Copies of this chain bind each other. A is one copy, B any other.
Amino acid sequence: MPELRHDPVQKRWVIIATERANRPQDFIVSSRVDNGEDCPFCPGNEEFTPPDLCRIGGGGSAWKARCVPNKYPALRVEGELERAAAGQYDRMNGIGAHEVIIETPDHHSDLPELSIDDLAAVLGIYRDRILDLSRDIRFKYILIFRNHGAPAGASLSHPHSQLIATPVTPRTVAIELESARQHYLVKERCIFCDIIAQEMQEHRRIVTLDQDYVTWCPYASRLPFEMTVAPRRHSHDFAAMGNDEMVRLARHLRNVMRRMKSGLEDPPYNLMLHTCPAYHLENSRSGYWSTIRMDWHWHIEILPKLSRTAGFEWGTGFYINPTPPEEAAEFLRQVSVDDR
């Protein structure tokens, strides 16, 4: 059983994933090569993954997208959450969920090549899995993320996203939630709505916008060409979106991904969806979450991995970004994109 451990100085949880255990010698050999043969995510190889949690398309190997439990999960879905002290430290058994969303049967395809409808269906799987797992009160937060390219941590090249449900609210999300709450308590306005208003007015950091969504390079971008995607209208809950909104988001997101892929020559990247805490969905009448509908605003962060983080970043939590977001946005705005 994996274990969650808390550092009392750095105030951070880590997952010690003993069952994925790599022994010291495993780290010395370089990472495995994925040549597209024997891919467990390709049609016909369904027996190499656990059974579907959900799928789009037909039975057998005739699916268009499917979600399966991760065969090598970082957290385990079975069991009760057990919390304990360990001297100065704190631990929890590694209860959670770890799923894989296989986005297309085509090994050599990629998210930006999907049709709008197929991409909307993938986003619909995100929503449906969040809704399903939110009913489990052991889970505080559900993160959906995507690693593209080996430098961004992808170990399999077949297009896929991942979902991890955690029994604690992760520190990064907790800081964002707290900032949004404090802003709302003083101003009775959503901090993201305020930021979007400022970005639309200044326009210098906008990458693209349409009636419903806006993408910009954040003022304090950590990495070159970092982008944030958010709905223009206030919305705290990604999973509350209907199918029509999913289609409009798919159109916007595909445009953004195509700009990035074409302009930056298919860079490695990480993509993360920050929606409201799972806990909220089942506890929206409790005190703590009573303002989250007003103060939180879901968003997607896209982090191209064009440079490497080094000792300075690890030692400070600071980032040195050599590309001003104004220049990054101007470059990405000018990439011509075929939206068909």
Contact = CB atoms under 8 A, between A and B. Distances in A.
The prevalent SS among residues of A at the interface is mixed
A179 B141 CA distance: 24
Nearest to A90: B220
A71 to B, nearest CB: 15
Contacts of A309: 153, 309
Nearest to A263: B24
A48 interface: no
Contacts of A150: 308
Contacts of A222: 12, 14
A211 interface: no
Interface string A239-267: 00000000000000000000000011101
A170 interface: yes
A274 B312 CA distance: 11
A301 B312 CA distance: 12
B318 A147 contact: no
Contacts of A24: 224-225, 263-264, 323, 327-328, 331
Contacts of A328: 24
A318 B89 contact: no
B319 A172 contact: no
Contacts of A28: 264-265
A9 to B, nearest CB: 5
A176 B10 contact: yes
Interface residues of A, number: 95
A220 B6 CA distance: 6
A315 B301 contact: yes
Contacts of A89: 219-220
Nearest to A306: B27
A171 interface: yes
A195 B88 contact: yes
B10 A311 contact: no
Contacts of A21: 322-324, 327
- The listed residue with most B CB atoms (<10 A of its CB), out of A74, A141, A171, A172, is A172
A183 interface: yes
Contacts of A176: 9-10
14 contacts: A8-B183, A10-B179, A14-B221, A14-B222, A16-B220, A22-B224, A24-B323, A27-B307, A152-B310, A153-B309, A153-B313, A162-B311, A164-B312, A301-B315
Given A74-B312, A147-B311, A162-B312, 6 more contacts: A8-B195, A9-B175, A9-B180, A14-B319, A17-B321, A88-B198
5 smallest beta-carbon distances between A and B, as pairs: A153-B310, A145-B311, A170-B316, A272-B315, A172-B317
